[in-house]
Chain A
């Protein structure tokens, strides 16, 4: 597949071959440049019947439905749905907090696996794939392209990504919403350590621009459970102030804060109709992607 035959640590050929069995579908019509697997808002030449339309001069006579003319003595043109490709924009959070991984594998490692697999699957089915690395701003950006050689550049960028700096995800998402052309699949892979209210406005913005937004919310089990026993000094991985806390004293309030955040985030994603997936790092990324792809296949069809 690749000319240089380099082995990428975040790619598993066996997993990719299994995942390739389920196509990646968009949940809403896309405006691709070439024919593809995804519904288009326009009429096209697929085998799927769309509607009858009155003949107007200039229409291709080959598309007249003679049987309809026989029944009604009027000229109708038979139209079919158009299938097109999509632009898949992978938004990868590379802020400092994505380097968290007490068991060895970091969130960024996990995010690379998801982004790499999705990029590969999209490109395989002829979709254009781009990658945006987000930290304190838009760190790196590769616009969506659909030629296979583009995948190497994408993988190189994924491999080179380092967790560093603070998160400005909300402002970058607003920026992407404006810069990416209409109707793209935007896949956000992040720990989303941003206020849900800010995220909500971003999602609404993306939705307004008719983008199909999917989110992989990466969380580490220790962040959820907060099961420390001894007093700890917590160093902010994004360069902020450190906090000294006795876990036995602060655990209750931490869990209350986490619960409140997750509840608020759930409300935001429901209101924004975002394809949201909470992912714990101890879960297999293959299973996560399978669930993602299957879920999208079930939701396909609306145009």
Chain B
């Protein structure tokens, strides 16, 4: 139990007043000379019985009455949040809401979601606790939103559910920035979250700086966590892992790969109906889910419409979390993949041309064109999906064109020139050629989980380790290594600039440099994956994860074609659905990490706030009991009862009519 006016509890020792008065009264006794001592001695020898008990009861009732009054005026709160209101009313209350899809999980009996319950509870609790200012950190923009009152939280668009993941460390950083910039007084930070690991990023180094930043604030910050760590046991999520429009003679088919995942340890077999809605046509297929995750590979749905592009969604029956029961997708006729090859060494040309021109899918046309460096300005870049560049890094007009191409979403792979110069492009430059110390430099590591060297769909590793690197060119600049040689030099690196599809390969396909051409699998996969990614930028459909940074070339005005109705237009990028942005068809869904994300254990959460004034309470979705409420009435009632009992005990006993013994 805590109190809204805890300083009034200093009056609690007043409860000892009856005892003190009693003791004073005892000391202020009168002395009387008494003759009938034999009766007093006899009375003293008698069992005191109820008389002594009555005295104690009267004393206790008086103490209880005073204590009840003191407690009542201290405005006690009924909650498990010990010390919640200690220190009185905060100057600023900052609210951090986890609005990720997992927060839409409902309780076992249905009812409100975790987010709705949390928002409701926070509104009630903060209204009780009072504050001078209320600020909500918008989880999508990270901007502070001033609230007139805690009740405004219920109406705020920034408190509604989204399909985007929540970056809790970033929100706390924003909260710290707000406190620092506004020099607010004593501040309470309220976090409402379901503790999903992907939202909290507990391994992030930012937590250390957050802790240190908050501890450095002199005004004092208290962090309150309203946690909903309940697992969605048995909850199913659906995700389309691949969608392709395949021309099948005059007709066309849609080839879908769907992944079903179930939360928890339940591995029992279940029949799950998958409902597809494509071009308004609905179909359903029953799948036998015998493991989790369950993959439905290349499920073909004949397309009735002749339209080159369209959208659809796949739905599973309602369960604990409605936010992961739909998945939207868009598709169109495959865009022809066209690669531009710019080389200074003719030995490189052939291998690159072969890798780019051989199509992996008969339905997709792949072409490769060799262009001299000085002709780069004349290339029709709008139709290019991949640029393969071997030679000095582009500069001047060529560099500008290549940069625009990459910004537009195109992909480029740069191979080192014969003579490294001092040119810099996209923050990277070639330094010097290095011959391997041993016969062949060994590849120490590469990223098999994502990007161009990712494992195959069946999970098999690319044979990157079998490549022989006879010599390589060292790289300098701000790059993200995707494969590294022994000794730490990168073999393949990606530019760290925004959405950059610029890659730097530290050797060439010349046999004297490496076995890339002879062991062509890695080169072919690398080039084809880059072409496919670049071609997707050329197409008019795009798939995005909600909250993911969007390309700059998208128009601001979007039109919703499908999706939940409760999203405002400005928040479309963080709500799942299908949107028309200019001539682009955008399918936005929740991030993949939101499906079956583990929940942080209690110790880990406590570690994140170690050293801070941190209070945590766990709650349940749909739980209607209020989190905190004033309970001064029972104390007042207890005081009145105590006074009545005291009065009853103090009533003089009935005296017989005679008044004296006869």
Interface residues of A (CB under 8 A from B): 96-100, 102, 107, 191, 193, 195, 220-221, 223-225, 228, 230-238, 240, 243-246, 248-250, 252-262, 280
- Interface size for B (C-beta < 8 A) is 30
Asked if residues A223 and B52 are in contact (CB atoms below 8 Å), the reply is no
Interface residues of B (CB under 8 A from A): 25-26, 28-44, 46, 48, 51-52, 54-55, 653, 659-662
19 CB-based A-B contacts, threshold 8 Å: A96-B35, A99-B33, A100-B35, A195-B38, A224-B661, A225-B659, A230-B28, A231-B25, A231-B26, A231-B29, A234-B34, A235-B34, A243-B44, A246-B26, A249-B48, A249-B51, A250-B44, A253-B51, A262-B661
A193-B37, A193-B38, A234-B40 provided; 9 other pairs, C-beta below 8 A? A191-B36, A224-B660, A230-B30, A231-B25, A231-B29, A235-B32, A252-B653, A257-B39, A261-B39
Query: Assuming A249-B51, A253-B46, is B660 touching A233 (CB within 8 A)?
Result: no
Asked if residues B29 and A221 are in contact (CB atoms below 8 Å), the reply is no
Q: What 9 A-B pairs come out closest when comparing CB atoms?
A: A97-B35, A253-B43, A100-B35, A257-B42, A234-B34, A231-B29, A257-B39, A224-B660, A253-B46
List, in ascending order, chain B residues with CB within 8 A of A228's CB: 32
Query: Assuming A230-B25, A259-B661, is B34 touching A250 (CB within 8 A)?
Result: no
List, in ascending order, chain A residues with CB within 8 A of B662's CB: 262
Query: Assuming A98-B35, A193-B38, is B661 touching A232 (CB within 8 A)?
Result: no
Asked if residues A193 and B660 are in contact (CB atoms below 8 Å), the reply is no
In Å, the complex CA distance between A121 and B544 comes to 131
Contact among B25, B38, B51, B660 for A252, CB-based, below 8 A: B51
Query: Assuming A234-B40, A243-B40, A243-B41, is B29 touching A249 (CB within 8 A)?
Result: no
Q: Which residue of B lies closest to A97 (CB)?
A: B35
List, in ascending order, chain A residues with CB within 8 A of B44's CB: 243, 245, 250, 253
Asked if residues A256 and B40 are in contact (CB atoms below 8 Å), the reply is no
In Å, the complex CA distance between A254 and B46 comes to 9
Asked if residues A233 and B48 are in contact (CB atoms below 8 Å), the reply is no
In Å, the complex CA distance between A77 and B48 comes to 73
Query: Assuming A232-B29, A250-B51, is B34 touching A258 (CB within 8 A)?
Result: no
List, in ascending order, chain B residues with CB within 8 A of A221's CB: 660
List, in ascending order, chain B residues with CB within 8 A of A238's CB: 35, 37
Contact among A225, A237, A262 for B33, CB-based, below 8 A: A237
Contact among B36, B52, B653, B661 for A249, CB-based, below 8 A: B52
List, in ascending order, chain B residues with CB within 8 A of A230's CB: 25, 28-30
Asked if residues B29 and A240 are in contact (CB atoms below 8 Å), the reply is no
Q: Which residue of A lies closest to B44 (CB)?
A: A243
In Å, the complex CA distance between A271 and B131 comes to 87
Chain A CB within 10 Å — which of B25, B35, B43 has the most? B35
List, in ascending order, chain B residues with CB within 8 A of A193's CB: 35-38
Q: Which residue of A lies closest to B41 (CB)?
A: A243
In Å, the complex CA distance between A221 and B661 comes to 11
Asked if residues A254 and B39 are in contact (CB atoms below 8 Å), the reply is yes
Query: Assuming A224-B660, A253-B51, A254-B43, is B30 touching A243 (CB within 8 A)?
Result: no
Contact among A100, A195, A257 for B34, CB-based, below 8 A: A100
In Å, the complex CA distance between A230 and B48 comes to 18
Asked if residues B46 and A256 are in contact (CB atoms below 8 Å), the reply is yes
List, in ascending order, chain B residues with CB within 8 A of A98's CB: 35
